[in-house]
């Protein structure tokens, strides 16, 4: 058993026996009252204060980002490029092929992304995390599909950014494979399953946090849908389920 905490991680005051205290996912123990005093980081959910996060910043689109998350934040295309180029080979390893994908990455702030709302696929409730550019070229009755880039919300800490890229690559794969008629919970659930597998293979606390976030997400589409798709792909085996999806343009039965 971990030792009984003696002091608040935020205000340093000693805990008196019987006092209620809270523990966040990162193991910080603090007085219950601080929950009302400090806002939470939009990425890691830590209370944003000097002691836990070194403070934080509010982006023009309203998101609060703590300084710990800021330390790895991906703000520019130049920062994003090598990260994305390292991700793609992993997906190939899982059996995902992207015939027609132009791996061009853009990062946009929340305000710009919101302006594009009409054409985009929102990847999370409340906050649009990313979208892919799709084009279909027709010559006679030949149809050729192209994904001409991925756009991700700027300022996400790197692990969150990577998961978002993987999620969007999931949409790209489904589109290029012409898997068009999945119910929404299946499409978003599949994209989140890919992000989940990605994070799960990585040993950092940030990756474990992203895994936890997906596992605990109460959203009927992104959370419940993900867990159903995970069970389905587990039942059939990931590679088999993926093959089935590719050839039948739908998921195997639950
Ligand atoms: Zn305290
Ligand atoms: Zn944070
Ligand atoms: Zn999505």
pLDDT tens for the chain, residues 1 to 254: 566 788 999 999 999 888 889 999 999 999 999 999 999 999 999 999 999 999 999 999 899 999 999 999 999 999 999 999 999 899 999 999 999 999 899 999 988 888 875 444 444 445 689 999 999 988 888 889 999 999 999 999 999 999 999 999 999 999 999 999 999 999 999 999 999 999 999 999 999 999 999 999 999 999 999 999 999 999 999 999 999 999 999 999 99
CA 230 to centroid of ligand 3, rounded, Å:
15
CA 3 to centroid of ligand 2, rounded, Å:
26
Quickly list DSSP for 147-187: EEEEEEETTB-HHHHHHHHHHHHHHHHHHHTT-----HHHH
For residue 132, which ligand has an atom nearest its CA? 3
| Whole-number Cα distances in Å, 29 to 95, 150, 164 | 43, 39, 30
Q: What is the DSSP letter of 101?
A: B
Four-CA torsion 91, 94, 96, 102, nearest 10 degrees? 20
Residues with CB under 5 A from ligand 1 (ion): 8, 10-11, 31
- Among left, alpha and beta (phi > 0; psi -120 to 50; other), residue 95 is left
pTM: 0.93
Domain spans of the chain? 21-70, 77-248
Tell me if 19 sits within 8 A of 8, measured CB to CB: no
For residue 192, which ligand has an atom nearest its CA? 3
Bridge partners (DSSP) of residue 57 are: 65
- Which residue has 């132009």 as its token pair? 102
CA 65 to centroid of ligand 1, rounded, Å:
21
CA 41 to centroid of ligand 2, rounded, Å:
5
CA 133 to centroid of ligand 3, rounded, Å:
13
Length of the chain: 254
In the prediction, which pLDDT does 120 show? Answer: 44
Alpha-carbon distance of 151 to 134, in angstroms, equals 12
């Amino acid at each position: 058993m971990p030792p009984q905490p003696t002091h608040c991680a935020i205000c340093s005051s000693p805990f008196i026996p019987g006092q209620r205290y809270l523990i966040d996912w990162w193991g910080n123990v603090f007085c219950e009252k601080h929950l009302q005093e400090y806002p939470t980081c939009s990425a890691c959910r830590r209370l944003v204060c000097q002691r836990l996060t070194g403070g934080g910043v509010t982006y023009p689109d309203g998101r609060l980002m703590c300084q710990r998350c800021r330390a790895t934040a991906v703000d520019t295309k130049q920062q994003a490029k090598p990260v994305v180029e390292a991700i793609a080979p992993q997906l190939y390893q899982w059996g995902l092929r992207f015939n027609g994908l132009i791996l061009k990455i853009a990062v946009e702030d929340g305000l710009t992304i919101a302006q594009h709302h009409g054409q985009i696929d929102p990847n999370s409730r409340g906050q649009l995390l990313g979208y892919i550019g799709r084009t279909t070229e027709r010559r006679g009755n030949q149809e050729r599909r192209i994904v001409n880039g991925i756009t991700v919300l700027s300022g996400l800490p790197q692990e969150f950014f990577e998961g978002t890229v993987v999620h969007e690559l999931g949409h790209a794969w489904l589109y290029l494979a012409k898997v068009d008629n999945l119910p929404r919970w299946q499409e978003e659930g599949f994209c989140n399953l890919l992000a989940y597998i990605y994070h799960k293979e990585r040993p950092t606390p940030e990756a474990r946090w992203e895994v936890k976030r997906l596992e605990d997400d109460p959203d009927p589409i992104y959370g419940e849908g993900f867990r159903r798709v995970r069970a389905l792909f587990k039942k059939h085996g990931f590679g088999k389920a993926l093959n089935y999806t590719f050839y039948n343009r739908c998921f195997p039965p639950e």
